[in-house]
A and B are shown apart, each in its own frame.
Chain A
Amino acid sequence: METGIIALAAALAVAGGTIVGVYEAKVAIAAVEAIGKNPDASGKIQGMAIIGAAIAETSAIYGLLIAFLIIFILGA
């Protein structure tokens, strides 16, 4: 019973990653469009796209961290 609720809590913690996935795809779309319009700046756009995606990903990573904490501290 208790294990099930802990597992559910961990799953909920990482569920925020789904939204991050959608918006990271938007970053990729914007980068591809920008490179299509301006192929010379592809190096700069690539770097910025990766940084933007990485910063957006941070929230998903915090979710992952909290899921780990729930599993290893509450579940142990």
Chain B
Amino acid sequence: MELQPTVFYIIAIVVIIAVLLILINRKLVKFDPLSKPTGIVLLVMMGAEMVDKMVKEKTDEKAAKFLTPYIMTVVVYIFLSNIAGLLSFESPTSNYSVTLSLAAVTCILIEYYAIKANGLKRYMKSLAEPMAPFIIMNVISKASTLLSLSLRLFGNIIAGTVLMGVIYQLFAKVSSLIPLFAGFNVIGVVVAPVLHFYFDLFSGAMQAFIFITLTLSFIGKELPKDY
């Protein structure tokens, strides 16, 4: 069996996340809770508070206790994977296996909460709503959640990666025509950072945010509501 090259990048990203967490944890332990937070501590606090607020808003108190750490993990992993292109890595999220497994976890959580809220019997019954033949439609609509969640992330990241590759090649060709700088990619050096900012940073952060928003909304839809 041959390993895909992405596996090594995934391991590298996990190691980077682990090292970052250890370093941040060291700072947080030393932090005096009565003083003003600054720098990385402030950043971590703001991020944690944002995710905490979002989960509480979309789901209920009990589910939030379990979901907040999961959502935090997913958002950090997806964001760092998306911007891995800046470190000349191959983004793990540009491999369909990675996004499919991330979406599969979300789908399992959705079904878990649906069964927990309705009970197994009513859940099975809801599959055959409104008539028995509609079971096919309902199963397809559940599978489409998995497909659309995984393909959205994958499509966005692979499009960014492929476009950046094409743009680098184009600029290399154009700048090889400039007589003085032959062999050196002059235009690429100037233009590429702006495009990297859009395709890697902006798109990456946006997709991570959309992924968790959709996960939370789909789960929140299944939770029992108290009016």
Query: Is A43 positioned at the interface, with any CB of B under 8 Å from its CB?
Result: yes
Whether A65 and B151, one on each chain, are in contact in the complex, defined by CB atoms closer than 8 angstroms, is: yes
Whether B144 and A58, one on each chain, are in contact in the complex, defined by CB atoms closer than 8 angstroms, is: yes
A50 / chain B contacts, CB cutoff of 8 Å: 210, 213-214, 217
Would you list which residues of chain B between 197 and 227 have a CB under 8 Å from chain A? 210, 213-214, 217
The docked-state distance in angstroms from the alpha carbon of A30 to that of B147 is: 27
B148 / chain A contacts, CB cutoff of 8 Å: 54, 57-58, 61
Query: Is B173 positioned at the interface, with any CB of A under 8 Å from its CB?
Result: no
B147 / chain A contacts, CB cutoff of 8 Å: 61-62, 65
Would you list which residues of chain B between 164 and 219 have a CB under 8 Å from chain A? 210, 213-214, 217
Whether A64 and B155, one on each chain, are in contact in the complex, defined by CB atoms closer than 8 angstroms, is: yes
Query: Is A21 positioned at the interface, with any CB of B under 8 Å from its CB?
Result: no
A interface residue numbers (CB < 8 A to B): 43, 47, 50-51, 54, 57-58, 61-62, 64-65
B interface residue numbers (CB < 8 A to A): 57-58, 144, 147-148, 151-152, 155, 210, 213-214, 217
Provide a sorted-by-A list of 29 A–B residue pairs whose CB atoms are within 8 angstroms: A43-B57, A47-B57, A47-B58, A47-B213, A47-B217, A50-B210, A50-B213, A50-B214, A50-B217, A51-B213, A51-B217, A54-B148, A54-B152, A54-B210, A54-B214, A57-B148, A57-B152, A58-B144, A58-B148, A61-B147, A61-B148, A61-B151, A61-B152, A61-B155, A62-B147, A64-B151, A64-B155, A65-B147, A65-B151
